[in-house]
Amino acid sequence: MIENKEIKYLNKINSPVDFKGIPQEEMPDVAEEIREELVRIVSNNGGHLASNLGVVELTMAIHRVFDSPSDHIIFDVGHQSYVHKLLTGRYTKMDTLRRSGGICGFTNREESEHDCFGAGHSSTSLSAALGFAISDKLSGSDAYTIAVIGDGAYTGGMIHEALNNCQKDLNMIIILNENEMSISKNIGRFAKNLSKLRTSPSYFKTKKVTGIFLRIIPLIGKPLFKFVLATKKMIKNTLYGSNYFESMGLTYLGPIDGNDYDQVERLLSEAKKLGESVVVHVKTVKGKGYKPAEQAPDKYHGMSPFGASCAKQTFSDTMGHVITELAQDDDKIFAVTAAMCDGTGLCEFREKFPKRFFDVGIAEEHALTFAAGLAANGGKPIVAIYSTFLQRGFDNIVHDIALQKLPVIMCVDRAGLNPCDGATHHGIFDVAFLSEIPNLKIYTPISNDMLRLCIKHALDEGVPAAIRYPNGCEDERIISEFYGNIQPTDIGIRANFDKKEKISTVIITHGRIALEALKASDMLNNSEHSTGVILLEMIKPYDICAQRICEFISDQVSNIVLLEEEILSGGMGMNLYHKLIEHKEISKKNIHIIAVNDSFVDKRKAGESIYTSAGINAESICSYVLKADTKTMDM
């Protein structure tokens, strides 16, 4: 753990007003202190380091020029808002960053009035900013709206949809923060062309003064101004090519060095004076001021606390290795990702099969329909997307993949509850929305061997499929309980008890929450309630899953608990329940579903586990079973 150094500035900043009271000449010292604290906090807690180090001067300048919370500051994704939090009175709480009951790793409206719009997913900021700016204009407010948008977000379609609807006469500052990275390195035409945009630092002043001068000339002033403007645009486009933002009707300023505090503050001040929608283009260094992060910004983008790493192969690594291995003998296999090559374990595939690897940018919808096109033309595409981001592609899965029965395999990474990143990153909705889609299989491996088998099985089946697995590594207890030293050769269900055993309670589950099921089983067995656990490796088709479960449910079983770490409505429990009660021998038993009770699981007490907060821990299971047994005895 990295300890506190002597703090000169941050512990005195309780609001942006306090920050504005610090003399201008001391800004470099403030920036240095902020960077030291960022490294210390993220080293201890994990989080997004490189992106926050890159926007220190930019965020400082924003808070010097504008007045939060009356002015609205919106950070795209929100992962680079740590400096903003430090300057808005949250320094004393930053040691709780990403911990239960602590500061959120993204912007959060409930956390502070200075977080005017919550985030966690990319490319939403400009749409939200436009909503703020237009409503301010209509209400007569002179407040400014500032959207801080990394260049990676411009690979997402929502940014361009919002640009298409921008109005020139708004108090809106769009800050394009170009650092050539989202999580993996940016790709695509827009990212490549950003570096070609050039404007002299004095451009905005010359343009404004010239415009005023020409327009006041009697009679010919306005026509002359229009002629000069058209001529300037023609010459500029001939020499430099069209400026995308100005072609959308927006004033464009920059680019400038976004890590030069004086330049940034000066340009933001001038942009503010224009009183219209302005794009301010800054270039920053991701990881600035911390050499390891500067040299490997992807490694220091989202990181675990120093010293806290998984020694074994992660599920993401396994997935990437398996499809790379399979692709050596099958040239129809393609890998597709939405700006998450590193996070989803596809770096090996990208290196060995660059022509069959596609990073489409932050565009999940496009990734899925693009994969559908590959599949329709005989390909075997595998799309790796985090569960929380798969939500964005629901229509594409329904309309473009499942309806046409196209063999697209979706590897759903980070499935289940993800405690450190909070509500925006919980993978608790995919089972519910995927379960309602016809023609789609859902695999739920929880060991590396089973993940390998599921990928092969899905490829052989040639149908739309989702293979969901959690963040991190396989768990030794789960492996020993359900697999032992045996490598699985088939996919179905596993039980940690023999069919002949006299079991009174059976807990049926899938995914990492199987650990809570095993803990509950231990507790109940110690209380002389014979309990066993069934682990599901494929949940959909649900009728087949229910049929296999029935083979393990003897006459002695009185209680069946369906346990999952996803939402209750439309989830595994509900779907499986309706299929189980179709079997007469099951319908007479006590069946209870324990799942996330249709909430976002966004509030935790300090020190509380995510399962306890959601009410789906081992104690909850035991409580239900003991009550159910008491009712049975009373009858």
Rounded to two decimals, the pTM is 0.87
By the 10 Å C-beta count (0-12 exposed, 13-18 middle, 19+ buried), 13 is classed as buried
Per-residue pLDDT tens digits for 425-474:
999 999 999 999 999 999 999 999 999 999 999 999 999 999 999 999 99
Of the candidate ranges 394-403, 417-426, 621-630, the one whose mean pLDDT is the lowest? 621-630
Name the percent of the chain lying above pLDDT 70: 87
Q: How far apart are CA 105 and CA 126, in angstroms?
A: 20
* 128 C-beta neighbours (distance < 10 Å), count: 20
Q: pLDDT at residue 366 above 50?
A: yes
Which of 90, 98, 350, 392 is an active site residue? 392
Helix H or strand E segment including 229 = helix 221-240
**Cβ pair 497, 532 in contact under 8 A:** yes
Q: What is the crossing angle of helices 542-550 and 572-580, to 10°?
A: 60
pLDDT of 515: 97
Which pLDDT tens digit goes with each residue over 373-396?
999 999 999 999 999 999 999 999
462: Cα within 13 Å, side-chain hemisphere:
5
Beta-strand runs (E) in 480-635: 493-495, 505-509, 531-536, 538-540, 559-567, 590-596
3-state secondary structure of 266: helix
Please state, rounded to an integer, the average pLDDT across all residues of the chain: 90
Annotation marks residue 180 as catalytic: no
pLDDT score at 629 = 62
Average pLDDT, integer, range 352-358: 98
610: its two tokens: 């995510």
- Work out the end-to-end distance of the chain between its first and last CA atoms, rounded to an integer number of angstroms: 57
3-class SS shares of the chain: helix, strand, coil, % to 5: 45, 15, 40
Dist. CA 444–CA 537, nearest whole Å: 5
- Give the model confidence (pLDDT) of 9-41 as tens digits: 999 999 999 999 999 999 999 999 999 999 999
Q: Specify which residues 149 forms β-bridges with.
A: 176
Catalytic residue among 33, 57, 180, 364: 364
Confirm whether 99 is a catalytic residue: no
pLDDT score recorded for residue 299: 77
Mean pLDDT, range 504-526, rounded to an integer: 97
Residues 102-148 have pLDDT tens digits of 999 999 999 999 999 999 999 999 999 999 999 999 999 999 999 99
Q: Are 145 and 75 in contact (CB under 8 A)?
A: no
Q: 35, 85, 98, 286: which one is catalytic?
A: 286
pLDDT category of residue 182 using cuts at 50, 70 and 90 = very low
Q: Is 294 an annotated catalytic residue?
A: no
Cβ proximity of 488 and 450 under 8 Å: yes
CA dist., res. 113 & res. 106, Å (int): 14
Least confident of 173-177, 178-182, 259-263: 178-182
634 pLDDT band (50/70/90 cuts)? very low
The answer to whether 610 and 620 have CB atoms below 8 angstroms apart is no
Q: Is the pLDDT of residue 320 over 90?
A: yes
Q: Alpha-carbon distance 339 to 350, whole Å?
A: 13
